[in-house]
Amino acid sequence: MELGFFLIVPFSLLICYFLKKLWLISHNHNQNGESRVNFPPGSRGLLPYIGETLHFVAAIYSKHGFYSFVQARHLRYGNCFKTHIFGETHVFVSSTESAKEILSNDLGKFTKKYIRSIGEVIGSESLLCASHKSHKLIRRHLLDLFTSRSNADFTKQFDELVVKSLSKWEYKENVVILDEALKMSCKAMCKMLLSLEDENEVYMLQNDVSCVCQGMLAFPLKFPWTAFSKGLQARNRIMKMLEKMIQERRARRHSTVIHDSKDFLQCLVVGRECQPSSSSDTEPTLTDAQIKDNILTMIIAGQDTTGSAMSWMVKYLDDNQEVLKALQDEIHSLEKRVTDKSFLTLEDLNEMIYAAKVVKESLRMASIVPWFPRIALHDCNILGYTIKKGWNINVDARSIHCDPTLYRNPHKFDPSRFDNEAKAYSYLAFGVGGRTCLGTNLARIMMLVFLYRLLTAYKWEVTDPDSSVESWALFSRLKTGCPIRITQVYNQTN
């Protein structure tokens, strides 16, 4: 009787298995129960909702960070694969053709999508989360602020700030580039957006922004001790501060006292009086909620990315002394021409031809924003595979940046590869299309000014070469933060 039972169970399971297979074949479905159309390769995991979520979370905590999850599957399946995480299907694509189709989005087949916790913490009116229609309006208003005049003002402001910050290193031996770069980029954003300069206020805002960033990545659990709740609380404090500032700006508008702060907030509050507007006169101005959410968005988008990029750049230069030498030669010859002036100008930066390539190559190698999330609005076909409406489709910028058919010897740090124009859609450090980074020029300015001042003020060497990445970070960040040992450079003028 017992033996019979032990034979019947596996036998029945076997029969069930074959029946299911027969059913799937007759109904034109594959083993996962999907219709036999050509879906991208990849695994949906063993359990329905969980899918490959646990693998993804394990990658987040690994030495190589969350991107290692994508990288492993890219190696296994190629330029297009699918996975199932947090109950949703995600497709990753990494060819220039697919990047063009998705990012240019000429046919309106895709839209941007962020997970719920991101939307709640950064705000539903943020450029990152707003509906297609609102996004267009907000983006047009913000674009008006990034003029050549504001770039020129920003160059001077940022240079002043870097000179001041670097002078404080004089009595230090060791400096962590990421910490210093985050402070500098946060101060720069506060000044440009809000004319906020008070050290304490900037410090408090930086802490709140960091809580918001952590909340954006956290599980949306609203208990007082969770990162998500802390992110929301920090957001509320920032919103209150911005509300107060907006009221002050409105009051100033009617006052007879002349104020010279023409920061971004002022321009957005006062509207087209301040802007040589390209947006039509009939276009609605932004609501307070839109202004507040997008000031917060710009602080986050501008601070963390640029801070991380600077620390990667210093690490790559330290790892590649011959590049550092060529860069030093360029900067020292420029230094001879600019020493008489107090601060760098945009024209000076335009002369930093090799340095600009160093910046570009650092951003390619680091791929600070490793993939760009979108969602398919209709069933469609990408690289010969069927993509279902509602699936997440991510353009894997990092794989494109490391594709040996696009970049020879892609893991070598070689700025001179940009002597020639890169192939269309192969360089995605700032994205492409209607969602391209608004701060591309600002980021370049910050990185060039920082390079110039670092190389002319100090000699340095990285003291911890570890290239592990931080586990829970919004953007790709070095875990060590890139610590350096510095010695001051004394030139003839000292």
Of 85 and 366, nearer to ligand HEM (C-beta) is 366
Based on CB atoms, which residue is closest to ligand HEM, 85 or 189?
Answer: 189
On whether the CB atoms of residues 313 and 455 are closer than 8 A, the answer is: no
β-bridge partners, 372:
395
- Residue 437 annotated as lining a ligand binding site: yes
The secondary element (H helix, E strand) that includes residue 380 is: strand 380-382
Min CB(421)–ligand HEM separation in Å:
19
Distance CA 322, CA 175 (A): 23
Q: What is residue 356's three-state secondary structure?
A: helix
Among positions 99, 118, 122, 127, the unique one binding ligand HEM when judged by CB under 6 A: 127
Residues in the chain, how many?
494
Using the rule CB under 6 A, is 372 a contact of ligand HEM? yes
Looking at the Cβ atoms of 286 and 363, the one nearer to ligand HEM is 363
Return the structure tokens found at 454: 């670092």
Binding-site string for ligand HEM from residue 311 to residue 350, where x marks contact by CB under 6 A and - marks none: ----------------------------------------
115 binds ligand HEM (CB under 6 A): no
Q: Toward ligand HEM, which CB reaches closer, 246 or 447?
A: 447
For ligand HEM, which residue of 55, 84, 360, 435 counts as binding (CB under 6 A)?
435
Binds ligand HEM by CB under 6 A, chosen from 178, 186, 227, 442: 442
Looking at the Cβ atoms of 89 and 294, the one nearer to ligand HEM is 294
The token duo for 283 is: 């276009």
431: contact with ligand HEM by CB under 6 A: yes
CA 490 – CA 5 distance, rounded (Å):
88
- Residue 426 as a binder of ligand HEM (CB under 6 A): the answer is no
Q: Give the integer Cα–Cα distance in Å for 188 and 162.
A: 9
By CB under 6 A, residue 482 contacts ligand HEM: no
Regarding 118 and contact with ligand HEM (CB under 6 A), the answer is no
Query: How would you class 358 by CB atoms within 10 Å of its CB: exposed for 0-12, middle for 13-18, buried for 19 or more?
Result: buried
Residue 181 touching ligand HEM (CB under 6 A): no
The verdict on 85 binding ligand HEM (CB under 6 A) reads: no
What strand order describes the sheet that includes 80-85?
80-85, 88-93, 392-396, 371-376, 110-112
Tokens representing 7 are: 């034979």
Using alpha carbons, select from 341, 365, 357, 375 the residue that is nearest to residue 421.
357
Q: Side chain identity at 269, as an amino acid letter?
A: V
One-character DSSP codes across 224-279: TTSHHHHHHHHHHHHHHHHHHHHHHHHHHHTSSS------HHHHHHHGGGTS---S
Measured between alpha carbons, how far is 214 from 305 in angstroms, rounded to an integer?
14
Q: Establish if 439 lies at the interface with ligand HEM (CB under 6 A).
A: yes
35 vs 436, beta carbon nearer ligand HEM: 436
Residues β-bridged to residue 90:
83, 392
34 or 403, CB closer to ligand HEM? 403
Choosing from 80, 232, 443, 449, the residue that interacts with ligand HEM (CB under 6 A) is 443
Question: Of the two residues 231 and 307, which places its CB atom closer to ligand HEM in the complex?
Answer: 307
Q: What are phi and psi of 286, to 5 degrees?
A: -80, 145
Contact call for residue 473 and ligand HEM (CB under 6 A) = no
Q: Does 305 bind ligand HEM (CB under 6 A)?
A: yes
Choosing from 177, 178, 267, 298, the residue that interacts with ligand HEM (CB under 6 A) is 298
Does position 358 interact with ligand HEM (CB under 6 A)? The reply is no
Q: Is 92 in the site for ligand HEM (CB under 6 A)?
A: no
Phi, psi of 373 (to 5 degrees): -80, 130
Residues that bind ligand HEM (CB under 6 A): 112, 127-128, 139, 297-298, 301-302, 305-306, 309, 363, 368-369, 372, 429-431, 435, 437-439, 442-443
Q: Which residues are annotated as a binding site for heme?
A: 437
